[in-house]
Amino acid sequence: MLHVVEELPDFTPHAVALYVNVGTLSPSWLPAMTTATQICNTVQTPWVLDPVAASASTFRFKACQELLRLKLTVVRGNAFEIIALSLAFAKPNAGSSKLTHLKDSMELVTKIVVKEKGQPRVMARTESLYRGGRPKRGWRIAGTIWDS
């Protein structure tokens, strides 16, 4: 991912896909992320949002909200990141406490994406992780794709 907005129009149209990982997010990089995704949308290049630790900081949380509203192709995150994204769009006092369940969170994120741009289609199923015959804490979401 390029971090300089001025270079994006020269490079991004030639990409076959774009992976936006907020794991190393900084204030100077966010404009490049949004610009790159907008270029991808213009040239119909798919892009993936990986909302790493989406709720770890206010800045990261708001950046993920902003990116989720763009015409994305794939959200790739673990259960806790999906829950954080769903809470970003939950209405206050509208039962947001029940969003601690992964299924409810995925449904809300799907509604937001459908409202914004596309139609959801599950590309990979949710899998439980096991170690020594017992479920490991958390779930792993392999990915969900939204067609525009």
Backbone angles phi, psi at 91, to 5 degrees: -80, 140
- The number of distinct structural domains making up the chain is 1
pLDDT given for residue 112 in this prediction: 57
Mean pLDDT of 14-18: 89
Report if residue 64 sits inside a domain: yes
Report if residue 30 sits inside a domain: yes
Cα 128 to the center of its chain, rounded Å: 20
pLDDT given for residue 133 in this prediction: 47
Rounded CA separation 47/74 (Å): 6
CATH code, domain with 59: 3.40.1190.20
pLDDT given for residue 132 in this prediction: 46
Tokens representing 17 are 């896909």
Report if residue 102 sits inside a domain: yes
Rounded CA separation 50/53 (Å): 9
Task: Decide: residue 38, CB within 10 A, 0-12 exposed, 13-18 middle, 19+ buried.
Answer: middle
Query: The tokens 């798919």 sit on which residue?
Result: 46
Tokens representing 55 are 């709720």
Rounded CA separation 105/109 (Å): 6
Report if residue 142 sits inside a domain: no
Domain limits at 71? 5-128
Report if residue 84 sits inside a domain: yes
Report if residue 42 sits inside a domain: yes
Query: The tokens 């806790």 sit on which residue?
Result: 80
pLDDT band for position 68 (cuts 50, 70, 90)? confident
Report if residue 98 sits inside a domain: yes
Mean pLDDT of 59-86: 81
Report if residue 51 sits inside a domain: yes
Greater pLDDT, 105 or 24: 24
Q: Residue 139 pLDDT more than 90? A: no
